[in-house]
Amino acid sequence: MKLVSHYLQSISDVGLYPSISLIIFFSFFMGMIWWTFKKSNRSYFQDMESYALEDEGAESNSNQRMPE
């Protein structure tokens, strides 16, 4: 750890990088929340909420002929 701290002390403005990382993470997180709750995605989420409960896969399997 002493070796790493020596190199970090030699970098000027090393305290700036955590702040930039926090701003990037916060911007990405807020962007994902905004994308999730915007009104244009409402129809997409309504279609996807019942997607797992539909029986389309069972109908396509029952229409296939079983090998004899």
**For residue range 29-44, what is the model confidence (pLDDT) as tens digits?**
999 999 888 878 788 8
pTM exceeds 0.85, yes or no: no
Mean pLDDT of the chain: 76
- When pLDDT is cut at 50, 70 and 90, the band that residue 15 belongs to is confident
Give how far the C-alpha of residue 67 lies from the chain's centroid of Cα atoms, to the nearest Å. 43
CA distances from 5 to 11, 15, 20, 37 (A): 10, 13, 20, 43
